[in-house]
Amino acid sequence: MAYYLGLDSSTQGLTAVVIDTAAGRVVHQSSINFGADLPEYGSPQGFLPNPDPLVRHADPRLWAAALEALLARLRREGVDLGGIAGLSGSGQQHGTVYLRRPFPVPPGQGETLADAVGRALTRPSAPIWMDSSTGQECREIDLALGGADVVRRRSGSAATERFAGPQIRRFAKTDPAAYARTELIHLVSSFMGSLLTGESAPVDPGDGAGMNLLNLASGHWDADLLAATAPGLEARLPRLAPSATVCGTVAPWLVERFGLRVGTPVVVWSGDNPSSLIGVGGWQAGTAVISLGTSDTCFAAMATPTVDPQGYGHVFGNPAGGFMCLICFKNGSLAREQVKAAHGLSWGQFDGECLGATPPGNRGNLMLPYFVPEITPLVLRPGVRRQGEPAFVGGRDAAADIRAIVEAQAMSMRLHSQWIGEVPSALRVTGGASRSDGICQILADVFEATVERLEVGNSAALGAALRTAQAVEGLSWHELTGMFCRCDPGRRVAPRAAAAAAYRRLLPRYAALELEHLGAARAER
Ligand code: XUL
């Protein structure tokens, strides 16, 4: 019997999933919510409030505090941490933590892990994936390499605002003294992995490809991209290691404080999306996945890496080997929550009274849902735009507003995933909002594909547990995903012909509205 622990350090919380590979079942799940459980960090949604909508940073001490709080909670809930045979995790992608060496330093007597992390930081906050402040740096990197297309072909993505490289460049330019003091720059995934092993942990190709620094073809840091980003960068980066690497054993302080067994293997962490790809059983090409979380993402394993000619899509490493494609939307759950809160609705009302009571196509009423700056398409100045029948007063008609945001999100996903070239017949939908039957019906109708939902949620943390079992116990992906990634047959949602036809008619109108908005925004700049 072997128990494996998978963690997921996401934007809004830290989640644990414990699996038992002998019984083929999940035995425990638990979470820390950054806002509710650790209010002293002043980050109700997991990031530090900032009046500039382009700037989004988080406090890395919060992530360390959450790790201690979650391990303590697991013990209180009766999980025998000494019986865990291996652990790993996944982190929100792209965020960077700036540190001096040695890192990590174990917490001293009476000290918390967050205190120990605080002493090592050379920059008090970490820019996260929601940050869009590096447009200038992206242009500089593209220019140095000979164009966005070169950067895209080398690293799998055009220079992208939230990616580690442009963020590091901005820091090195705006605070060269602090950059000079910085001896080590970790991603959220490798930062958290380091806290577990007590040694600076490596970066895997799943998360490493989200930096604009990794050469996808060679699998190594790209010398030209490093040079175009910041001086002396390679010495500051963690090493790269394949996703199935056991990168160390649990740190002594974890053994002392939480009763983990000496010598317990720790597998290199990955990004939350690559880990989710495993957690939903999507490790082979042919399964398209939509994850509805703080960010909404569409992704799939790729037989051969293809790049998005429009520049919005990304290619990352697939932790099972090869590559995956991904498109990310920033106006995900926080945007849905904003409309829901504006109308004072419960999730039940959102789903039943609003999505259940309005027709597909929303009587022609459309919304461009840029509540915060958007990644896909690139919209730096937030703003919500409505278009439709005079009846669509927007903001006054709750049901029409709710349908408008969900339809806009689904149509934008359909529109911007066309470069992948495959029309899926089934979509695996995961993440908190996948609980909504109304949202899943709209996705099924817009994509003209059957929506499948899984028996086990928390796909990123589950994927981390599965990756650990594969690396430590040598179980195959077939065996593991067969046991843990079953779809719930009772929760399948089939597309409806009339609704699908309505969206087929509406999609060109949505695309035209989006283009018109992007054109107007460009003209203003
Ligand atoms: C993916 C992305 C987000 C984060 C947050 O490129 O930016 O999905 O990983 O979860």
Ligand 1 pocket residues where CB is under 6 Å: 10-11, 92-94, 129, 162, 210, 271-273, 295, 297, 326, 328
Is the pLDDT at 320 greater than 90, yes or no?
yes
Q: How far does residue 312's CA lie from ligand 1's centre (Å)?
A: 13
Is the pLDDT at 525 greater than 80, yes or no?
no
Provide mean pLDDT across the span 17-39. 98
Question: pLDDT for 211-266, tens place per residue?
Answer: 999 999 999 999 999 999 999 999 999 999 999 999 999 999 999 999 999 999 99
Q: Which amino acid is at 514?
A: E
- How buried is 84 (Cβ within 10 angstroms: 0-12 exposed, 13-18 middle, 19+ buried)? buried
Provide mean pLDDT across the span 371-383. 95
Instruction: Return d(Cα 298, Cα 310) in angstroms, integer.
Output: 16
Nearest CA to ligand 1 atom 6: 328
Q: pLDDT grade, residue 424 (50/70/90)?
A: confident
Provide mean pLDDT across the span 87-110. 97
* 461 close to 467: Cβ distance less than 8 angstroms: no
Mean pLDDT lowest among 22-36, 60-74, 298-312, 492-506: 298-312
* Count of beta carbons in the 10 Å neighbourhood of residue 385: 16
Q: How far does residue 371's CA lie from ligand 1's centre (Å)?
A: 17
Q: How far does residue 216's CA lie from ligand 1's centre (Å)?
A: 19
H-helix segments, 131-282: 135-145, 148-155, 164-174, 176-181, 188-197, 205-208, 223-229, 252-258, 272-279
Nearest CA to ligand 1 atom 10: 92
Q: How far does residue 47's CA lie from ligand 1's centre (Å)?
A: 14
SS3 of 440, please?
A: helix
Q: How far does residue 13's CA lie from ligand 1's centre (Å)?
A: 14
DSSP string across 68-125:
HHHHHHHHHTT--GGGEEEEEEEE-SS-EEEEPSS-PPPP-TT--HHHHHHHHBSSSS
Q: pLDDT grade, residue 381 (50/70/90)?
A: very high
β-sheet bridge partners, residue 378: none
State residue 1's pLDDT score: 61
**Ligand 1 atom closest to residue 10's alpha carbon, by position in its atom list:** 10
Q: How far does residue 23's CA lie from ligand 1's centre (Å)?
A: 32
Torsion, CA 237, CA 315, CA 139, CA 519, rounded to 10: -150
**Ligand 1 atom closest to residue 293's alpha carbon, by position in its atom list:** 10
Instruction: Return d(Cα 460, Cα 485) in angstroms, integer.
Output: 12
Q: pLDDT grade, residue 127 (50/70/90)?
A: very high
Q: How far does residue 261's CA lie from ligand 1's centre (Å)?
A: 32
Q: pLDDT grade, residue 422 (50/70/90)?
A: confident
Is the pLDDT at 192 greater than 90, yes or no?
yes
Phi, psi values for residue 158, rounded to 5°: -60, 160
**Ligand 1 atom closest to residue 375's alpha carbon, by position in its atom list:** 7
Q: Taking the model in full, what pTM does it have?
A: 0.96
Q: How far does residue 389's CA lie from ligand 1's centre (Å)?
A: 35
Mutating to test ligand 1, I would choose from 129, 331, 416 the residue with most ligand atoms within 8 A of its C-beta, which is 129
Instruction: Return d(Cα 492, Cα 427) in angstroms, integer.
Output: 10
Is the pLDDT at 391 greater than 60, yes or no?
no
How many contiguous H segments (helices) and E segments (strands) does the chain have? 19, 19
Mutating to test ligand 1, I would choose from 188, 297, 308, 327 the residue with most ligand atoms within 8 A of its C-beta, which is 297
Where are any strands of DSSP class E within 319-435?
323-329, 366-370, 383-387, 426-430
Instruction: Return d(Cα 500, Cα 506) in angstroms, integer.
Output: 10
% of the chain with per-residue pLDDT over 70: 98
**Ligand 1 atom closest to residue 94's alpha carbon, by position in its atom list:** 7
Instruction: Return d(Cα 195, Cα 103) in angstroms, integer.
Output: 9
State residue 392's pLDDT score: 66
Give the containing element (helix H, strand E) for 514: helix 497-524
Nearest CA to ligand 1 atom 7: 129
* Count of beta carbons in the 10 Å neighbourhood of residue 243: 25
State residue 303's pLDDT score: 82
Per the listing, tokens 């070239």 go with 421
Q: How far does residue 325's CA lie from ligand 1's centre (Å)?
A: 12
